[in-house]
Amino acid sequence: MTLEELKAIFKEKFGDQGDIRAYFAPGRVNLIGEHTDYNGGHVFPCALTIGTYAIARIREDKQIRLYSENLSADGVINSSLDELVNKDSYGWANYPLGVVWAMIEKGTKIPSGFDMVVWGNIPNGSGLSSSASLEVLTGTVLTDLFGLNKTMTDLALIGQYSENNFNGCNCGIMDQFAVAMGKKDHAIFLDCADLSYKYAPVKLENASIVITNSKVKHSLVDSAYNDRRNESSRALKDLQTVCGISSLGDLTMAEFEKYGTVIKDEIDYKRAKHAVAENQRTIEAVEALNANDLEKFGQLMNASHVSLRDDYEVSCQEVDFLVETQWKVPGVIGARITGGGFGGCTVAIVKNDAVENFKDTVGKAYKEKFDLDAEFYVVDIGDGARRL
């Protein structure tokens, strides 16, 4: 869909008067560093050129009218600044409404309502952060429409706060930060303990990032995502009885092996082991990329998947099959599950001359095994959220 077509839908739904503006927020893929963000570790995501578009306009009253060309099966969602509550009937609209609620909750005055039409090309439930994209998009819209004094980091934190407290998913900061702070042809090496970050150029000479959508949908709110966070927290509390750390990301693997026996529960131990090891892998992976050692980067991606499968247990049989099939395809440098887990997507680095064979081989094997049609996206790394 073009921007002009989306504007036409806005005018059809809400009229053509006033100052109508356009915005975009990307999806993201995480190259390595999964379930480390809320454990105080490092992540290495990048923004994509696919994402969510919005057309928006200020209203003079307190009404909020929302319409999604993708998701509004029941038409326009009507709410207001006086009634910012999470309702099942609102569906997708709970994400933008949550951002408005979070802004007000954090002390920002939103003087009036607004009309907004959105459309996105991120597959819903794929693990490419359609929810974070919508949250940061809404923050960008509100900041621009009302002239708010918000940085992109502010908008990332507001998006996370709204998803935690309005939508009930206890996510970390990675998704919103990547969506807000993305930079073309760069990934973000982010320390989630203090939000310090560096941009790292992603130079994949003769290779591409290929995302494979398993078409197995998940909802992080309804899944075991929150359980994993609780298990990691219990492990941290046990460790804090013997060492002065504030997060699992503070430990090296050697330190974890020294102190880890204090963790009482076997499952909690496995969760902590993943968080510590994945953080170290992420640091090593960025060093490898900076040294143009793609082979080592790929090996660390593979090890990340094994850890997510066996220690953090956030994969599933469909995604495991995809990754294990991808590892066998000639020209694959590395492959792993990406995102919150329990379905969604894999991310692989594939030599350019092997991409078509990769799609053909993996697609056929997956169809034969599960009778599902995987979708493949050869993606580019783009910029963060912005007014168009």
Which active-site residues does the annotation give? 175
Q: Which residue has the tokens 């090309």?
A: 121
Q: Could you tell me the two tokens for 386?
A: 């912005």
C-alpha separations of 94 from 77, 99, 188, 313 in Å: 10, 9, 28, 29
C-alpha separations of 227 from 34, 193, 232, 271, 336 in Å: 15, 21, 9, 10, 22
Please provide the size of the chain in residues. Answer: 388
Q: 112: phi > 0 → left, psi -120 to 50 → alpha, else beta; which? A: beta
Cβ(37)–Cβ(60) below 8 Å: no
Phi, psi of 377 (to 5 degrees): -130, 120
Close Cβ partners of 44 (under 8 Å, ≥ 6 residues apart): 30, 31, 32, 33, 187, 188, 189, 190, 200, 282, 285, 286
Close Cβ partners of 114 (under 8 Å, ≥ 6 residues apart): 56, 57, 58, 59, 64, 65, 141, 142, 145
Angle at 170 between CA 168 and CA 176, to 5 degrees: 100
